[in-house]
Structure 1
Amino acid sequence: MTSFQIAAAAYPCQQYTHWDDYAAHLSRFVAEGAATGAKLLLLPEYASLELVSLLRPAVWNDVQAQRPLMQQFLPGMLDLHSRLARQHGLYLVAASFPTEAEAGHYLNRAYFFAPDGRHSHQDKIMMTRFEAEEWGIEGGSAGRDGGQAQVFETELGRVGINICYDAEFPAMAAAQARAGMEVLLVPSFTGSAHGYTRVRVGSMARALENQIYAVHAPFLADARWTYAIEAAVGAAAIYAPADPGAAQAPNGLPASGIVAQGEMNAPGWLTYTLDLALTREVRRDGHVLNARDSLRLPSSLSADVVRL
């Protein structure tokens, strides 16, 4: 397939009283994304934390106590997303979840559902300071269940996921691109404009370096009722290498590297048709060939200090 429609969510946090309220809200939101004609829907990092509202208020601000209690919601969440993927006949990346992969060991896991309801997952590898130091979430690279970069073979093409902070480091996306990834999905949860900018710039850099699309979906929240969330900001966006390719088609890739972008902190879906022929042409015969030339860098490359 050379083109398909994708939708990135700027997903607004809700506070619930009952599980059925969550299921109804998510079902409506996914239905809105499906109604755009998108074949792949991307939800943000940690938007599942709105389920903290279903726990007793005494633990709303105790992030470590929340981790084991959240596990009761995981089977229902997986069933719900599987049903929605089947119902709408599309690929669906669920909001990442603090999953207990082994007893007492928690990973930030994004579940990726196929149109037939089956799912796989990508674990976050690089932890932020909050995750590691306060919350006790481990990086997937710790070698527990999962713990490596995945590339998902889909009917739409090869897709990879970098969860938020992961997108700020080149190595993971580079490995995925070498395995044939053409679209990088970046679900994020950033509590400030500073954090949002870091993930945004990282996503744009990964698109540039690997000459692929990067799709950014942020969590939005004003949830002072829980320390697990507090605030979340951002804008959904789709990035590409800033290179028109040899053909220099009038409808080619934009000079800004920003293919599409929603309004800051405005909830909803950003939908766009990705034309993989454009990025393939850039990788084949662009003004520069970042993806090819990066392979020429020696793995043992080091820097010498020169005194002036």
Structure 2
Amino acid sequence: MATSSTPGPLTPGPLLLRKPVKIACIQLASGADKAANLSHAADKVREAASSGVKIVVLPECFNSPYGCDYFPSYAEELLPSPPSPEQSPSFHALSAMARDNNVYLVGGSIPELSQTTQSSTSSSDKPKPTYYNTSLTFSPTGTLLATHRKIHLFDISIPGKITFRESDVLSPGNTLTVVDLPEYGRIAVAICYDIRFPELAMIAARQGCFALVYPGAFNTTTGPLHWRLQGQARAMDNQIYVALCSPARDTSAVYHAWGHSLVVDPMAQVLVEADEKETIVTAELDGDKIEEARKGIPLRDQRRFDVYLDVSKGSKTGSEP
């Protein structure tokens, strides 16, 4: 997988977003057929790019159904990188989507299989499968820029509503992912439940990101409660853009995604929001809007690190191996 050096903090000065850019969140309808899902995603990326979009985002688990029962059977090996087409058809499909359409592509997420060696008392070591929820970001040339493994696993229990435990199958990643897009600036990529932990967003913002990008799949219990609210909160706290990309809702599936993919501006205003059906939502991002927000409400200059700690100090940032 791609690796990157840890970006340092940026001081006030040049625009975080060097020039305006159009972003698209593709609220994709996926089913049980992985090959069909990849082909359908390619069609939708092509459709988004035809409207002048330069940054495209796919949903969490876009190549498979979402659920602990599905992760192992749909998982693909990504290491050593690049994997072969047999090891990871999704890797190669995403690379081609980015290259063929000349876009930066945040490839939602896919289940990843990592074969690790587990020491034993027998004469040989046994490989132990480890699974991750992994997002791959590609450049307009189809080059892998960064890999994010979901850091915070979705383990919740709301009585009478929903119980879900990703940790029954998945392992967590260990790195906050910041990606350099040379023409534009930096973005941070995280996945779904990661958005509930504001420290990630604060660190990314203080390291000069102009946008936080979250492929996600909130459900019909947590979605109406917190999906839009979380997007607006991360934008408000950090005065940068936030993009949330969900799968379309499929009521015949085991897991019912909320949908409502959206983009929020640095003043926490929702620029565009989908309903629950398959669609593409787009928004124009402008670096001047970030500076306007930060000058009007100057949080950047008013923080009291003499009273509380700066969580960005000593953070582990870059890309998974």
SS state at 2:266 partner: coil
Deviations 1:118-138 (A, max 9, x none): 11211211111134344x212
1:29 alignment counterpart: 44
Q: How does 1:98-117 map to 2 (within 5 A)?
A: 98-103=111-116, 104-117=129-142
Write the mapping of 1:189-208 to structure 2, written as runs, cut at 5 A: 189-195=217-223, 197-208=225-236
Pick 1 or 2: higher relative contact order, CA cutoff 8 A, min separation 6. 2
Are 2:308 and 1:282 aligned?
no
Tell me by how many angstroms 1:191 deviates: 2.1
Describe the shift of the 1:239–1:23 C-alpha distance in structure 2 as closer, same or farther (beyond 3 A): closer
| Cα RMSD (Å) | 2.5
Residue 48 of structure 1 and its aligned partner are, at CA, apart by: 2.1
The aligned runs of 1:204-223 (5 Å cut-off) are: 204-222=232-250
Residues 64 and 74 in structure 2, CA contact (< 8 A), matched pair in contact too: no
Write the distance in 2 (CA, Å) between the matches of 1:210 and 1:98. 30
Residue 77 and residue 36 in structure 1: after superposition, are their counterparts in 2 closer, same or farther (change >3 A)?
same
Give the ranges of 4+ consecutive aligned residues of structure 1 lying more than 4 Å apart after TM superposition.
none
Question: Which of 39, 46, 49 is equivalent to 2:61?
Answer: 46
Aligned to 2:272: 260
2:171 equivalent in structure 1? 138
Q: Does 1:127 align with 2:139?
A: no
TM-score by length of 2: 0.75
Instruction: Provide the rounded CA distance (Å) in 1 between the counterparts of 2:70 and 2:31.
Output: 21
Q: Distance in 2 between matches of 1:178 and 1:265?
A: 33
How many Å apart are 1:64 and its aligned residue?
4.9
1:293 aligns with 2:278: no
Between the aligned partners of 1:300 and 1:29, the Cα distance in structure 2 is: 41
CA distance in 1, matches of 2:239, 2:39: 39
Superposition map of 1:40-79 within 5 A: 40-50=55-65, 63-64=68-69, 66-67=71-72, 70-71=75-76, 75-79=88-92
Q: 1:118 to 1:163 in 2, by over 3 A?
A: same
Taking the aligned partners of 1:92 and 1:260, their CA distance within structure 2 comes to 19
Q: Is the 8 A contact 1:122 1:149 kept in 2?
A: yes
TM-score using structure 1 length = 0.77
Q: Could you tell me how far 1:83 is from its partner in structure 2?
A: 0.9
Unaligned stretches of 5+ residues in structure 2: 1-17, 78-85, 117-128, 156-163, 312-321
**Match for residue 161 of structure 2?**
none
Bigger helix share: 1
**Is residue 98–residue 140 contact of structure 2 (8 Å, CA) maintained in 1?**
yes
| 3-state SS, counterpart of residue 244 of structure 2 | strand
Residues 112 and 197 of structure 1: CA distance in aligned 2, closer, same or farther (over 3 Å): farther
Confirm or deny that 1:270 pairs with 2:281: yes
* Residues 295 and 186 of structure 1, relative CA distance in 2, 3 Å threshold: farther
Q: Which sections of structure 1, spanning at least 5 residues, go unmatched?
A: 53-60, 141-146, 243-255, 302-308
Structure 1 residues 101 and 180: CA distance shift in structure 2, 3 A: farther
Aligned-pair distance for 1:74? Answer: 5.6
* Contact persistence 1:131–1:138 (CA under 8 A): no
1:13 is matched with 30
Task: Report if the CA contact (8 A) 1:165-1:199 is conserved.
Answer: no
TM superposition shift of 1:32 = 0.9
SS in 2 for 1:231: coil
- Kept after mapping to 1: 8 A contact 2:152/2:193: yes
Matching residue of 2:104:
91
1:8–1:42: 8 Å Cα contact kept in structure 2? yes
Secondary structure of the residue aligned to 1:219 is coil
Give the letter aligned to residue 273 of structure 2: Q
**TM-superposed deviation, 1:68:** 5.2
Distance 1:77 1:133, change over 3 A: closer
Counterpart Cα distance in 1 of 2:71 and 2:132: 14
Matches within 5 A, 1:145-160: 147-154=174-181, 155-160=183-188
The whole-number CA distance in structure 2 between the counterparts of 1:46 and 1:29 is 16
User: SS at the partner of 1:80?
Assistant: helix
